Structure 1
Amino acid sequence: MTEQGNIQYNTKGEKPLKGYQIVRVRNVAHSKEVLDNFKNAVLTILKNKNLNDEDPKWEQLLPQGIVNKIRQLDDNDKKYDELLKSVNMSVYKFQKIREWEWYSSVETEKGFDIIVKGKFNAGQFINFIHCQNVPLGDIRIIDADKQEFYELKTIKDYTSYKILK
């Protein structure tokens, strides 16, 4: 199955035999919306792979639940919460330095897991989840092969002082 098919149809937490990581999000009341926005963002980038990352069309193509929140972030937010990126920078990093492929997802009560083949590179790709008012403390990356858990940290998590509408 293609990656686009995996995003749409592998929704029961299916796992490859090895070489995968889990992006685990918990304690988020609006988790279905966050997951759907992230899925739609990934699908949009995959479907528009020939569109330059600097093209202003990205702001119309990507889910507005992500774009509208990123627009509310100022330079200080991005200075202290270095996991926040602009729309164009997130698209650029997805197109150029991605080391993972979507394998499956599963919704849980107030959360979800995304299973990816490869290494998720959280510093580059967590932006589209985190910008949706998801505190970094509620996101973990789990390396299934090494059985290691990675916590995400930044100088100051913007969700500690600001909620985006």
Structure 2
Amino acid sequence: MIEINNIKYNIKGEKPTKGYEIIHVRGISNAKEVLENFKNAVMVILRNKSLSDEDSKWEKLLPEGIVNKIKQLDDDNKKYDELLYDIDSSIYHFQDLKDWEWYSSLEVENGFDIIVKGDFSARFVNFIHCQNVPLANIKIVNADKNEYYELKTFKDYTTYKTLK
């Protein structure tokens, strides 16, 4: 699978010539852990495409650093922070997305970039955001249009709650 190889080996911020987005995450002290959890979650989902989004096995397959935090979110958190989803909803959205390719990632001081071709970014910010990453620290760049997109929600849960 090309995406799994790219996730593992394209770690220098390699960029295609066009048709890509960059997820910029900055200003977090545990950036390496957040990126590894995210990368591992994407690889698990890619390796288990035939598993139903509602299967309870996902909780065992996905990184604990994501599963444990998502389990701490209640309905009010999700009502006010629309970028938070349950595990099954996240898996459903991911499996529904067809035309994308993980291109590379790049670790930087207190942050990282993820470069993807196609439409990938906003729907999967959940697996980054749920790891106590404020939305203000996540930006999406459409490289073709040279436009930055800020992520907003009614109330970012990180302003009032820290997940353990």
**TM-score category of the 2 structures, normalised to the smaller one:** over 0.9
**Runs of 4+ residues deviating >4 angstroms:** none
State TM-score, norm by structure 2. Answer: 0.98
Q: How far does residue 100 in structure 1 lie from its aligned partner after superposition?
A: 2.5
Partner residue, 2:65:
65
Deviation sequence 1:51-110 (CA, Å, 0-9, x none): 111000000000000000000000000000010000010001000135432100000000
**Is contact 1:98–1:121 with CA below 8 Å preserved after alignment?**
no
Cα distance in 1 for partners of 2:15, 2:161 equals 35
Cα distance in 1 for partners of 2:22, 2:156 equals 22
SS at match of 2:42: helix
Flag structure 1 segments of 5+ consecutive residues without an equivalent.
none
**Is contact 2:23–2:121 with CA below 8 Å preserved after alignment?**
no
State TM-score, norm by structure 1. Answer: 0.97
Percent identical pairs in the alignment equals 67
Partner residue, 1:100:
100
**Is contact 2:82–2:154 with CA below 8 Å preserved after alignment?**
yes
Deviation sequence 1:94-135 (CA, Å, 0-9, x none): 00135432100000000000000012240x211000000000
Q: Note the aligned Cα RMSD (angstroms).
A: 1.0
Cα distance in 1 for partners of 2:121, 2:13 equals 20
| Paired amino acid for 2:129 | H
Partner residue, 1:154:
153
> 2:144 matched to 1:145?
yes
| Paired amino acid for 1:105 | S
Flag structure 2 segments of 5+ consecutive residues without an equivalent.
none
Aligned residues: 164
